[in-house]
Amino acid sequence: MTAAHVLADRAGAAQVLAGQVADKQSGEPFFFWLLAIVSVAAALGMIFMRKAVHSALLLATVMLSLAALYAVQDAPFLAFVQVIVYTGAVLMLFLFVLMLVGVSSTDSLVETLRGQRFWAAVCGIGFVVLLGVGFANAALGDSAGVKNANAEHGGNIRGLAYLLFGKYVFAFEATSALLITAALGAMVLAHRERTTPKPTQRDLSVERFRRAAQTGAHPGPLPGPGTYARHNAVDMPALLPDGTPSELSVNPIIAARTDTAHRHTDLDGQTEQQALDRDVRAVRTVTETADSERGRPRETEEDEK
């Protein structure tokens, strides 16, 4: 063995030792305990929260802590996939469906099966004890670390790519079939056949005028939300030419939920009435000046005659 080989071996051993020391110094125990407490607390909160939206947000917390735990365990690719696929796509899909199904749907606390919660808790404790005893009896030893496996092909992502497109290529191909099937299934399940023909613009117009003839409702379009040059938010009722806020200009759901007139309160610290009065005055001056400007040329024409 030449001197160069010995030197290289020593350098390799030193590198391994340095890696172990860095592992100990990287603060992994701190991160582990922090993330473990956060994730378990969020998971418990998730099953105890009554509102589904709160559960979804707590699940996002659990998934983000798990992503951080993957990063701590030298799996950077999985950490990012966890954030992008789970927190980004899957949870947003959950929230989407929650919004479609109705946010206000809360679980009833009435047990339909007697003693269900008690026996569920017993099963849970029994299961975790079973798993704990199993892990305690297994000869787990110390972890070898994936530093070498990562370095073999020059990085975690390259190493995963070699495995994915080499050893696991058939599973990967099967995955593509699975994804296509899932997309097709979602389309088939979410598709709804129309039982009545879609109303055309003509039908809608005829219907509007029929309703106007029957009930006297205004057949024209509803006023748009917002106020001249000041607010254009969709929840801000428009001011009619006589200065009263029009509830028709905002979405009926928003109008039903809150008193929309109070939205004319300004951020200047005035009272609602003052702010509304000022808005009304602004609208009046604009409409009156527009009237007088329109009126003036007509007078001159009459003068010429």
Give residues 158-217 in contact with another protein (rule: CB under 8 A). Answer: 159-160, 163-164, 167-168, 171, 175, 178-179, 181-183, 185-186, 189-190, 192
Q: Which helix (H) or strand (E) holds 238?
A: strand 238-239
Nearest distance in Å: CB 206, another protein: 29
> Radius of gyration of the chain from Cα atoms?
34
Query: Residue 179 CB, nearest distance to another protein (Å)?
Result: 6
Q: What is the smallest separation between the CB atom of 254 and another protein, expressed in angstroms? A: 23
Touching another protein, residues 85-144 (CB under 8 A):
85-86, 89-90, 93-94, 97-98, 100-101, 105, 107-108, 112, 116-117, 120-121, 123-124, 127-128, 131-132, 135-136, 140-144
Q: How far is the CB of 211 from another protein (least distance, A)?
A: 27
Regarding 8 and contact with another protein (CB under 8 A), the answer is no
The answer to whether the beta carbons of residues 58 and 99 sit under 8 Å apart is no
10 Å CB burial of residue 292 (0-12, 13-18, 19+) is: exposed
Q: How far is the CB of 149 from another protein (least distance, A)?
A: 5
Least Å from the CB of residue 15 to another protein:
16
Q: Which is nearer to another protein, 116 or 273 (CB)?
A: 116
Torsion angle, alpha carbons of 103, 88, 70, 175, to 10: 110
Closer CB to another protein, residue 172 or residue 209? 172
Site for another protein in 238-277 (CB under 8 A): none
Q: How far apart are CA 121 and CA 131, in angstroms?
A: 15
Exposure class string for 200-226: b at 16+ Cβ within 10 A, else e: eeeeeeeeeeeeeeeeeeeeeeebebb
Determine, following the binding rule CB under 8 A, whether residue 32 of this chain makes contact with another protein. Answer: yes
Q: Is 156 in the site for another protein (CB under 8 A)?
A: yes
Sign of CA dihedral 237, 238, 242, 247: negative
| Binding window for another protein (CB under 8 A); candidates: 10-18, 77-85, 211-219, 241-249 | 77-85
- Nearer to another protein by Cβ, of 149 and 255: the residue is 149
Segment lying near another protein (by CB under 8 A), choices 7-15, 78-86, 250-258, 283-291: 78-86
DSSP state of 146: S
Three-state secondary structure call for residue 231: strand
Contact 58, 49 (CB under 8 A): yes
CB-based contact 156:76 (threshold 8 Å): yes
* Amino acid in the structure at residue 33: W
Contacts of another protein in 57-76 (CB under 8 A): 59, 62-63, 66, 69-70, 73-75
Of 2 and 112, the one with the shorter C-beta distance to another protein is 112
- Between the alpha carbon of residue 141 and those of residues 122, 136, 149, 172, 244, the distances in Å are 31, 11, 18, 32, 77
